[in-house]
Every structure is written in structure tokens, then in C-alpha cells.
Amino acid sequence: MRSVLRVMPLFVLLLALSVALVPAAAQDMMSYSTDCATEGYTGTFQSVEAVDAMTVKFTLCSPDPAFPAKVAFSAFSIQPSEYLEATGGGGDLITSPIGTGPYKLERWDQGNEMVLTRNEDYWGTPAIEPTVIFRWNAEATARLLELQSGNIDGMDNPAQGDFGVIEADPNLALYLRSGTNVFYLGMNNRIAPFDSLEVRQALAYAIDRERIVANFYPPGSSAATQFMPPSIFGFTGEVKPLDDGMTVDEKLAKAAELLDAAGYPVGDDGTRFSVTINYRDVVRGYLPSPGVVAQDIQAQLAQLGVVVNIEVMESGAFLDASDAGQLAFYMLGWGADYPDATNFLDFHFGEGSSDQFGDKFPEITEPLKQAASLADTAERYQIYIQANEAIRDLVPMIAIAHGGNGAAFQARIAGAYASDIGAEQFALMEDPNDDNLVWMQNAEPIGLYCADETDGETLRACEQINESLLAYEVGTGRPIGRLASDWTASDDLTEWTFTLREGVKFHDGSDLDANDVVLSYVVQWDAANPLHVGRDGNFTYFSGLFGGFMNPPASE
Amino acid sequence: MDNVISLELSNQGKNQRTYNFWLELLGNLRRNRSAVTGFIIIALLIMIAIFASVITTHDPLLPMFGLPGETPPLPRKAPCIHLLGCNAEEAQHLMGLDLNARDLFSRVIFGSRTSLVVGVFSVSFAITIGTLLGLIGGYAGGWIDNIIMRLMDVMLAFPSLLLAITIVTIRGPGLENALLAIAIVSIPQYARVTRSSVLKVKEEEFVTAERSLGAESWRIVFIHILPHALTPLIVQATLGIGGAVLEAAGLAFLGLGAQPPTPEWGFMLSEARAYIFTSPHLVFFPGIAITLTVLGFNLLGDGLRDALDPRLNRD
């Protein structure tokens, strides 16, 4: 009896421990699914489930060869499920993110700078520099002055005229990005006069792309012949632009003829119609000097009798308005997030894309949907020819340029590079002089919950803090394991199973498990989820890359 | 020539203790060197604005792409003046080309129109409203005066450029709205100047006499009191035009004034400021134009003030 009593405390302790531990171990594994045939559902997700604590399985409605490339994208980074619930899917999630990345947010002094400190518990190779500071200035010349004076260690997008200056300076190093982007003139086919196909075609003839690229773009840029940049799969050289081989005068004559046919003859005042062109006054690799290009387009169209009023907008408001289909005629561009046609074509013209060009054309959406579900590259290529031809003929936008650009660093920074997709990992760079790396980009990040952001300047900041299941290998852009150590696909490419990496901790000290992954995806996927909040609630990348939302809101 | 003769006449007249206000003013001005300089600058500027289309060598809105004599790269091309040794085969551009390969000289010349229009119209508008408010407030006194002048105080409490930006933001950017905004923010200056003159004059005996003769208020205000407020108003308006030109340039610099492709000095500066080290001509010429214009109005305004001050220059 005495011995029993002596063991009793130990027994109680064990009981208490198991009571405390068992619920954790047996925590419900999340699983969400939908019926692909649901009316109004255009998405490709069928289910997301946590098979066990460290395994997540995605089931798709149709095969998706680019799935790993999409999963690696920073909009699909993994958030701690508890934090998602605590923040209600917005609010603090946007200003003080918690991730698994090599850096964590120390402070964000809005309008001034963003300071990131090294995550000492990082699962992989820790960052070299203890601190990374993001700063921004819209003026390329001002950024260069800061770099030359040594106030910053690296800068994005030097001005067109400064490439030579940087190359000649022994203290600086220039890193070039190839033009994996496109600058286009968007037209909304729900708003007159762009509801007329002839008008859209006329403008496609009228714009002299060569003139814009030759005069307003840095070396390494090229005039666009189609939406896809030449170096990315989905570019089809067979598809020639409408004005292929025509001289400037022939193009203008053709444009005038089309405008006459569309019912916009030259009026008594010498003009045909007037439109407003919108743009955001920010410098991007695809558009190094927006104001000047806007005025050149204005001057080019003036030759045709089309009066263009220029209206500059604030970056965030501009993107929201164009996504919502409120802008008739605007200058925008796109930089590759991952090297595949789906990133360009599906995002802009696919079924799940935003309303930025107005109504969608089945001639474009059908082949895109088909191509995105094929595993065979040669077959996909043939279908992309169809898609690119349809885009050329229906002219939802006019592709103008693929802008080459670069980044400049102090020559002493070891490991500096410029990522073709604008996703520089600062954890790999070393400044031998001090303990921090100061990076100056074009603009301030808009918010740090990147599931609901599309701006490249914003994504770059998120990428230091949050990580996705996979990542792009530096140099090749191939998907490699990040939070998932391994992944497999079923033969028909509809079932993708990811095994999570052991020992990954979030910045708040909690462990990564399958539920975090499931919830991170579901709050984006399920439009009816109470956590489907974000900054503006558009979740543009998810619907663009995965076709659409579950429980889509009733369309107005 | 006429001026000289009439001045002599007026000098003779002065011996007889009668003199003409305007001739007296002109005489005083002539002796003030800075006023003469200001006057010359402004006269030149007005001529330039009127004859802009004759003076300019190119269409200010036309990019030079594909024209004979233009060797690329065209944007931001440095000035080419044949007299100064520029290759005769090159097209001549006195101030070079701007970012869009347009002739900068023609744009600077046409820019004088925009600036003068904004300066003159905004000040005219402001002076009309401001004087009216000042006359009413000053003459009526009491609660009417209180309401008007407190409103003016509130407007003066805002930094004027900030208030102008707010107005333009609400009404949308554009030359007309910038003009209106500048006019509105300068109303209080004129209202206060007028009111103080009115207060000084309205208790004078000739006003009392007029009133006792049964003259109506509007007659007293406009015929007898207003002329006494003219002197400070003229000075204020001349200085005000310079200020308005500067404010218009400031608004345009922020993208809130004249919209492209209208040539506007402030907007030209704003576009080109990133190239100040690589293509200084883009910033230099519009900058000089703004400086000269504002300087001209300020010199003339100061000269007028001195010429009109009874404590100075009177012999």
C-alpha cells in the first residue's frame, strides 16, 4: 500500500501529462474540399487536406503541370494558422507578419523605412547579415546618389542614362535582369470606345512600339511582338503582331481606316474622340519612365486625331481600380513571378483573371484552360499558339515592350545578384564593412500579407519574411523544396502531396504543421471563409493562378 | 516721347500745386532703377507671350522623331546652335530637346503664356472678390465685418500652397483649377488691404459730408472710398502676380497644374529633375524663366511701393 502511495504522485503526473499532450497530438487535421462541378465554380482546386501533421495533399480538378512553380510563389506563403485566426485574416497580419523566413520584421516605420532582423532559429542556413533595411525612393537618380554616397548598399532599377555611370564606377557593380516582363496598354472592352474591336485594333496599329523602346528604354530591352516575353515558355515566335512588316505611315493609314470604319471619323475640330490614359507614377523594370512614355503615346495618338488626357494615380488606388475594371485605358505591366506561360496569360486573360480588360473572350480562355491542364510540353505549345493568336486578334491590350533593367550594389557586397523575377534573397548577401544591408527600391511595400498583394516591390519584402512550400532555385528558377522537403504528384498531375520539413519554427516560436499550410491556402481559396479578408480582399494571385474561388461572391 | 513731354508738363504743373497722380507715379518710377528693370522684364515677357507662335522655331508639342537633320538619340539632346559651332547638318535647337524629344526653346517660350495667364487671371479674380469683401466688411462694420474677416483669418491660417493643393485635389488637376485655387488662396490678402484703407477713409469728413448730402452707400463706397484703396492694391497685385506664377509652377511641379502636353515651366522642371546632372539644360532653362518672371514682378512691385509711398520721393 505504501509503495502504491509512493508511486501515486508519479502516476498522477503521468496522467496529467498525457491529458495535456494527447489533444495536441490528436489535434484535428484540417480538410476542405468542394465539388468541381459546382455551378459557378471556375477554380482548379478540388481539395486541400492535412493527411497527417507533416503531410499536405492538394487535389485538383484538372492536371496542372505548373503547380510546383505556382506553389513556390510568394503569394502562397505559409502563415501560422493561430495567427491567421487571431488577426481575423487582415489587420495585424498586414503590418506585423509572422513567418518562417530568414528575416523577421523588426519595425516598419511607414513612409520611412522597414527594418528586418535575422531569424536566429531559422531552419536552414541563417542569413549572413544580422539586419536588412528596406528604403525606397521613386527617383532613380536619387537612389543612385544614395548609393554613390555610401548611404545604401544596393538599389533597384538605375535610370536609363545611368547604366554607363555605374559600370564606370569601380566602387559599384551593376547586375542586369533580362526582360522577363511586359509593358502593355490595357483597354477595358466594357467602356466606350474600347468596346469596339476596330478601335482596339486601330490603336494596336497606331502605336509605334519601336520608337518607344528605342528612345525611352535602357539597353537590353526589346519591342514586344506579343504579351509573352521571348525567354519564357509560352512565347510563340510563329505568332506575328498585327502590324508585322508595315512602315510607320502604313500603320497610321491602317489605323485611320479602322477608326473610320468603327464610326469615329475625324470631326470638325480635327479630332476623333478623347480618352483618358491612367498610369501610376512608379518606376518598374517594364516601364522605366512612365510620364515620358505616357506623353509619347499622347503625341503618337494625336497624329490620328485621338485626344489623350493623362491622369496619374496613386499606385495602390490605380491597381485596385484597374483590377475592378474601372479604368478604360491605362499603362501597366507585368514582371514574371515564375517562368511559365500561366503566370502571364492565365493571370491576365484566364477565366479567373480580374476585370481589368472587361469581358473575357472564350477564344482566349478556352485554349488557356486546356493548355494549363496538359502535361506534354509540345502539345501545350501548340495551344499557346492559338491563345496568342486570339489575344493578338481580339486586342484586350497592346503589348509594347519587354524592359531590360538591373540592380546596382556596392562592389564589396558579396553574393549580390539581381533576380530575373525581382525576388532577391538578401539572406545570401554579405556586406564586409558592417552588420547590415541597406536596400533601396522604387516604392514602399503596400502591405506584408502578400496573399493579397500583387506589387513586386511589396512581394520582395514579403519574401524575406515568409516562405512558401517550394522556392525558385537561384539562377535557374526551377522549383526546389523550401517548407516542403519533398513532393510527389500522381501520374495525371491532379494530386500533389507535400511532405513538410521537420523542425521549422515560425518567428513566434510555434511549429509548422500541416494545418498551417491548409489554412493558409483555404483562406485564399474560400471566398466565404471568415478569414478571407486581406488588405482589399481581391486575392488576385489565387484566382489568377488557380482559376477562381470556392463559394465565389454572387457577381453583380 | 509723349511721356517725356507730358512729364515736363506735369513738372510745370507741380509749381502750381496741382499734379496728375499717374504722371507723378511714372516720374517716381523712372527714378527707381529696379522698377525700370522689372518693367522691362515684364514688358519683354508679355511681348514673348503674345508673339510666341512667331518667335518659336518648332511646334512645342511635336516630338522630333523621324524629322530631317535629327540624329538619334533624340530625347534630352543638348542644345545645338549653329552660330556656336554646332554641325550645320544638325537641326538647330537653341535649348536642346526635352525628354520627349520636343524642342525645349519653343516649349519655354509657350510656357510664358501659361504662366502669365495664370498670374494675371488668378490675381484679377482674387482682387475682384477680395476688394469686394474688404469694402463690404470695412464699410458695414459690425457682425458683417466680423464674419468676413474671421473667414479671411481662417484662410490665412492655412499655408497657402497647402490650401491650393487641397482645392486642386478636390476639383481635379488642371490649369483652370490651379488658377482657381491660387485665386482663392490669395483673396484674404486683398480683402485685408482694402478693408484697412476703408477703415482709414470712412471716418473722414468728406465721407461724412457725402453721407449727410444723402448719397447712397454703394456710391460712397465705390466712388469715394475705393479710389483711396487703389494704391496699396496696385502694389499688392503686382507682387501677387509674381507669387501666383511661382505657386502655379509649384502646383505643376507636383503634377496638379497644367496637364501634359501643355508646356508649363514648373512641370518641365519636375519632369527633368532626375536628369539635373546628366542633362542640365532641361532644368536650367525653365528654371531661369520662372526666376526672371518672378523677379520682374517683384522688382516692379517694390518699385511701385516706393513710388507710391507719400513719405518717400515727394519733393
Contacts of A283 (CB under 8 A, 6+ apart): A138, A140, A157, A289, A290, A442
Nearest chain A Cα distance for residue B95, angstroms: 19
- pLDDT tens-digit series, residues A431-455: 999 999 999 998 999 999 999 998 8
Per-residue pLDDT of B239-293, as tens digits, reads: 999 999 999 999 988 888 888 899 999 999 998 887 887 789 999 999 999 999 9
Nearest CA in chain B to A291: B271
pLDDT at A212 over 80: yes
Residue B309 vs residue B128, higher pLDDT: B128
| Chain centre distance of CA B237 | 8
∠ at Cα A209 (A206, A210), nearest 5°? 125
Is the CB of residue A146 less than 8 Å away from at least one CB of chain B? no
For residue range A234-243, what is the model confidence (pLDDT) as tens digits? Answer: 899 999 999 9
> What pLDDT shows up at residue A71?
92
The whole-angstrom distance between A248's CA and the closest CA on chain B is: 10
Which triple of cell numbers denotes residue B103?
A: 524642342
Is the CB of residue B63 less than 8 Å away from at least one CB of chain A? yes
Answer whether residue A556 shows pLDDT above 50: no
Residue given cell 545570401 in the structure block: A428
Instruction: Judge: A248–B261 Cβ closer than 8 Å, yes or no.
Output: no
What distance in Å separates the CA atoms of residue A493 and residue A500, rounded to the nearest whole number?
Answer: 20
pTM of the shown model: 0.75
pLDDT digits (tens, 9 = 90+) for B41-94: 999 999 999 999 999 989 999 999 988 888 878 888 889 898 888 888 888 899
* pLDDT score recorded for residue B7: 46
From the CB of residue A7, how many other CB atoms can be counted at a distance below 10 Å? 11
Mean pLDDT value across chain A: 89
CB B107 within 8 A of CB B263: yes
pLDDT single digits (tens) A374-404: 877 788 899 999 999 999 999 999 999 999 8
Q: Do A292 and B100 touch (CB under 8 A)?
A: yes
Cβ–Cβ below 8 Å for A215 and B277: no
Residue A55: pLDDT band (50, 70, 90) is very high
Interior angle at CA A190, CA A187 and CA A193, nearest 5: 65
User: B106-152 pLDDT, tens per residue?
Assistant: 999 999 999 999 999 999 999 999 999 999 999 998 999 999 999 99
Q: pLDDT band for position A4 (50/70/90)?
A: low
Phi, psi of A544 (to 5 degrees): -70, -40
Which chain A residue's Cα is nearest to B169?
Answer: A313
Distances in whole angstroms, Cα of residue A8 to Cα of each of A16, A19, A22, A208: 12, 16, 21, 88
> Which pLDDT score is estimated for B218?
87
C-alpha cell at A373: 491542364
Q: Is ipTM > 0.85 here?
A: no
Name residues whose C-beta falls within 8 Å of residue A506's C-beta, 6 or more positions apart in sequence: A80, A83, A98, A99, A100, A512, A516
* Cβ contact B278–A161 (<8 Å): yes
